Amino acid sequence: MRIAMIGTGYVGLVSGACFSDFGHHVICVDKDRAKIEALERGVMPIFEPGLEQLVARNVQGGRLAFTTDLPAGVAEADAIFIAVGTPSRRGDGHADLSYVLGATEEIARALTGPAVVVTKSTVPVGTGDEVERIIRETAPEAKAWVVSNPEFLREGAAIDDFKRPDRIVVGTDSPEAAEIMREVYRPLYLNKAPLIFTSRRTAELIKYAANAFLATKITFINEVADLCEAVGADVQDVARGIGLDNRIGPKFLHAGPGYGGSCFPKDTIALLKTAEDNQAPLRIVESVVKVNDLRKRAMGRKVIQALGGEARGKTIALLGLTFKPNTDDMRDAPSISIVQALQDAGASVRGYDPEGIEQARPLLPDVDFFSDPYRAAEGADAVVLVTEWDVLRALDLKRIARTMAQPILVDLRSIYPPQDVEAAGLRWFGIGRPARAG
């Protein structure tokens, strides 16, 4: 099939590359000429494991191309995916649909034949109705079906998620559109991925509900971790004990400094706005958002407490800056709040991340960045593990202890057993266990 992917951001580029790897002919469209020219040279705008090789293979195979010419990209396409950004709208927290609706108008003017127009972007309930209205008013003679097909990609594991999905959700009431979408995803038939057909509004809500539920699981175990510290329990054992219950499951029960990234923060807020507009308040999600914001700020105080309650004049090294490993995404990363709290307390902050430093620079002013974790730790009064990158899972702790001004390790991801940290000559502080346990 011929597929047009409007937008070459995280979702659009990964989806387009994976569709082409299935054997479809895909053209990715973006207004950013510099980005398109870079993609044509094989330079990726984001870090995602395996993406550069996947793009190169399919460009070479003639199945994947890039353009700034939307009419040319849309011409003769069987399926046109809208995969542009929907950031939080400044001032009120609603999802900003200007990119989605702008792309829809351009698509409507460029339609040349029957096609499905698919919203891949995360959009509030009812957006598909607005997309359909724009197409009907702009191109009343066009034969087009508007479909919702939300993405469920984890940054750092997006290619595998696309090719081996837990489920594929398609929102449409049209038999013709459903048949085209079955053909689009036919290559996944052998993987037996469930293809779930729902109404368009239901599909739109599934995406938001899924992210809000996962954010709730994260926030729940983070609050349990605080209780564990207070009563002398071990949150990792608690998480294992409840996660073995099939009704709960073990995923997203890893206590840490709070969730961040491109999805959970903006999607939970957008869902709250939708609920508010429809007089159906979501009190649990409201609490999740508030608790998560407070938690990220509290992590800075945890580091200061490890220093004896005084951070002024101290040097602190943060290892791992992105909101999660295997991505360069700094959006709403816990490290941002931690750095601000430490700097407000008078500390000097150093930062290390294997992929996110360039994205971190404009967000973390006055931070000294290092390309090596050991150099960042030299002379520091405390080392803080913020993101669980693989490169940080097997550090030479004895080497770090020898070069620090004070041997303090604050492990916000429970990477190391406290006893191993203390055996290396470091004082351990972490999450969900009494300080200096072991």
CA distance 200 to 204: 6
User: How much is the average pLDDT of 182-191?
Assistant: 89
Q: Is the pLDDT of residue 41 over 50?
A: yes
User: Are residues 82 and 151 in contact, defined by beta-carbon separation less than 8 angstroms?
Assistant: no
User: Tell me, what's the pLDDT at 333?
Assistant: 97
User: Tell me, what's the pLDDT at 193?
Assistant: 85
pLDDT tens digits, 111-153? 988 999 999 999 999 999 999 999 999 999 999 999 999 999 9
Within this chain, do residues 14 and 139 fall inside the same structural domain, yes or no? yes
Within this chain, do residues 164 and 287 fall inside the same structural domain, yes or no? no
Of 198, 232, 259, the one marking the end of a domain is 198
Instruction: State the total domains in the chain.
Output: 2
Q: Is the pLDDT of residue 436 over 70?
A: no
Within this chain, do residues 117 and 261 fall inside the same structural domain, yes or no? no
Query: Is residue 216 assigned to a domain?
Result: no
Phi, psi torsion values for 343, nearest 5 degrees = -65, -40
Alpha helices in 232-279, H assignment, sequence order: 235-243, 264-277
Q: Rounded mean pLDDT of the chain?
A: 96
User: How much is the average pLDDT of 373-392?
Assistant: 98
Within this chain, do residues 173 and 259 fall inside the same structural domain, yes or no? no
Within this chain, do residues 82 and 178 fall inside the same structural domain, yes or no? yes
Within this chain, do residues 39 and 123 fall inside the same structural domain, yes or no? yes
pLDDT tens digits, 43-73? 999 999 999 999 999 999 999 999 999 999 9
Q: Is the pLDDT of residue 91 over 80?
A: no
Cβ-based neighbours of 92, under 8 Å, separated by 6 or more: 273
User: Are residues 185 and 108 in contact, defined by beta-carbon separation less than 8 angstroms?
Assistant: no
Domain of 176, in residue numbers: 2-198
User: In the numeric block, which tokens belong to residue 359?
Assistant: 């994205």
DSSP states along 365-379: TTPEEESSHHHHHTT
User: Tell me, what's the pLDDT at 434?
Assistant: 74
Within this chain, do residues 146 and 288 fall inside the same structural domain, yes or no? no
Q: Which stretches does DSSP call E strand in 8-154?
A: 25-29, 64-67, 79-82, 115-119, 144-148
User: How much is the average pLDDT of 36-42?
Assistant: 97
Within this chain, do residues 170 and 270 fall inside the same structural domain, yes or no? no
Query: Is residue 210 assigned to a domain?
Result: no
Query: Is residue 152 assigned to a domain?
Result: yes
Q: What one-character DSSP code corresponds to residue 88?
A: B
Q: Is the pLDDT of residue 438 over 60?
A: no
Long-range contacts of 176-185 (CB under 8 A, 24+ apart): 176/145, 177/116, 177/145, 177/147, 180/1, 180/78, 180/79, 180/116, 180/145, 181/79, 181/116, 181/118, 181/147, 181/149, 183/1, 183/78, 184/1, 184/3, 184/19, 184/24, 184/78, 184/79
User: Tell me, what's the pLDDT at 191?
Assistant: 74
Query: Is residue 213 assigned to a domain?
Result: no
Where in the sequence numbering do the catalytic residues fall? 263
Which residues, listed in sequence order, are joined to residue 25 by a DSSP beta bridge?
Answer: 2
Of 198, 232, 264, the one marking the end of a domain is 198
Q: Is the pLDDT of residue 437 over 50?
A: no
Query: Is residue 221 assigned to a domain?
Result: no
User: Tell me, what's the pLDDT at 189?
Assistant: 79
Of 198, 221, 255, the one marking the end of a domain is 198
Integer CA distances (angstroms), 344 to 149, 184, 290, in order:
44, 52, 21
Query: Is residue 27 assigned to a domain?
Result: yes
pLDDT tens digits, 325-343? 999 999 999 999 999 999 9
Q: What is the CATH number of the domain that holds 127?
A: 3.40.50.720
CA distance 87 to 406: 41
- pLDDT > 70: what percent of the chain? 99
pLDDT tens digits, 313-322? 999 999 999 9
Within this chain, do residues 187 and 284 fall inside the same structural domain, yes or no? no
pTM comes to 0.93
Helix or strand run (H / E) with residue 350: strand 348-352
The terminus-to-terminus CA distance of the chain in angstroms comes to: 59
Q: What one-character DSSP code corresponds to residue 95?
A: B
Within this chain, do residues 263 and 165 fall inside the same structural domain, yes or no? no
Query: Is residue 420 assigned to a domain?
Result: yes
CA distance 98 to 104: 10
User: How much is the average pLDDT of 1-14?
Assistant: 97
Which residues, listed in sequence order, are joined to residue 3 by a DSSP beta bridge?
Answer: 26, 79
Within this chain, do residues 80 and 164 fall inside the same structural domain, yes or no? yes
Within this chain, do residues 75 and 180 fall inside the same structural domain, yes or no? yes
User: Tell me, what's the pLDDT at 435?
Assistant: 60
Task: Name residue 93's amino acid.
Answer: G
Query: Is residue 205 assigned to a domain?
Result: no
Task: Name residue 416's amino acid.
Answer: Y
pLDDT tens digits, 255-265? 999 999 989 99
Taking the mean position of all CA atoms in its chain, how far away is CA 321?
Answer: 14
DSSP states along 56-69: HHHHHTTSEEEES-
